[in-house]
Chains A and B, each alone.
Chain A
């Protein structure tokens, strides 16, 4: 009994001493100290990497719910941006179409200014003969625009053909590639004259009746000679692609590659022989979308 009491007293004294020691240490290691103890430094240095690792993991874990909410936001944004891209793409293609049209009209305008002796009137191609018997196109504008039979039709690239029939508001143009085509022409470089003949089955143009002793070379430019009375002088037709001896050997003939792409005709110029006027105003008279044509259409 006494032994147990002694032990309790000892334990009490020990605890009290421990408490005092701890309080003393706590007092000595107050909030602001110049240097940490060795134990503190050791524990902190050991734990610091662990702490930063745990923090990183915690941040990653905290990002998981945000990831899903971000996914929803991104999904919505994706739909929105897809719609915007589609709208912009459509708009871009429209702008590109405008740009091409603008370039085409500028070239037509330049050409019209070059041909001051004619009154070039722009006209939109509104139809193409599809029965394969004739190579013709229908243009917007007819007698009302002073279009008449046998007027030359050109583009910025060169000669297209001539008008073969006219109504009040439309005209039919016979293309150079039609088999009925025949016109007087010459080689621009050598001034050698010939006749541009109807196309063959392959759609090529033939320049015939070229004297055998005249120099005819590839890549030379063929223009209208103005002799026939229909086509004015100097309209570009095409270039010589091939030269060959004609049947009988007395003359030679050339296969002409036209400058005009007849499959892509959209707007042409009709050469109306009259007093010159502002080509821009003339162009506005029959081009679609212009104020003048709108009035006419109504």
Chain B
């Protein structure tokens, strides 16, 4: 009986991961196609982060990071450039959200938007930081002009 349960658990987990991956793919596709409809001044909310953040807030960082990494991987594969930057930035953002979610009082109405804001900022910051070692070298102006408004919009 125990053996049976041990064998069925990984299969269920892989199914769950596959579902999440498909959801991420769909979400990325939606972002690339429809999200421009709700753009304000060229700024679109980072709605993709909602998926991993939902898990991150309720899961410890040790389990939540996989969702961030999966999202980042899907984004990287679809964007076709600098594979790994997305994984790093999204994983870091989800880990931060997980830490905050597990330490802040979740039922407080202001905390979830705060966590989202922090996660989006962290994601942008990490991407910007990692752009230098890989030779991309993004301008720091992107942080106040792009990342900060996006984080505010997403948190709203």
Q: Which residues of A contact B (CB under 8 A)?
A: 19, 21-27, 29-31, 33, 36-37, 39-40, 43-44, 46-47, 50-51, 54-55, 58, 62
Take A29-B83, A29-B84, A54-B34 as given contacts and tell me if A23 and B134 are in contact as well, using a CB distance cutoff of 8 Å. yes
Residues of the B chain whose Cβ atoms lie less than 8 Å from the Cβ of A62: 37
Interface assignment of B133: CB less than 8 Å from any CB of chain A: yes
Interface assignment of B30: CB less than 8 Å from any CB of chain A: yes
Complexed CA–CA distance, A224 and B146 (Å): 104
Interface size on B, residues (CB 8 A): 25
Residue from A29, A43, A51, A54 in contact with B81 in the complex, judged by beta carbons closer than 8 Å: A29
Which residue on B lies nearest to A42, using beta carbons? B77
In angstroms, how far is the closest chain B Cβ from the Cβ of A60?
12
Complexed CA–CA distance, A21 and B87 (Å): 11
Residue from B30, B32, B81 in contact with A30 in the complex, judged by beta carbons closer than 8 Å: B81
Q: Among A26, A27, A47, A55, find the residue whose CB has the most chain B CB atoms closer than 10 A.
A: A26
Interface assignment of B13: CB less than 8 Å from any CB of chain A: no
Q: Among B28, B77, B135, B136, find the residue whose CB has the most chain A CB atoms closer than 10 A.
A: B77
Q: Which residues of B contact A (CB under 8 A)?
A: 25-26, 28-30, 32-34, 37, 74, 77-78, 80-85, 87-88, 130, 133-136
Complexed CA–CA distance, A55 and B84 (Å): 27
Take A22-B88, A23-B134 as given contacts and tell me if A44 and B82 are in contact as well, using a CB distance cutoff of 8 Å. no
Residue from B32, B37, B83, B85 in contact with A51 in the complex, judged by beta carbons closer than 8 Å: B32
Take A23-B130, A25-B84, A26-B85 as given contacts and tell me if A43 and B33 are in contact as well, using a CB distance cutoff of 8 Å. no
Task: Check A23–B30 contact: CB distance below 8 A.
Answer: no
Between A and B, 7 residue pairs with Cβ closer than 8 Å are A21-B84, A36-B80, A44-B78, A46-B25, A50-B25, A51-B29, A54-B30
Residues of the B chain whose Cβ atoms lie less than 8 Å from the Cβ of A25: 83-84
Take A22-B87, A30-B134 as given contacts and tell me if A51 and B33 are in contact as well, using a CB distance cutoff of 8 Å. yes
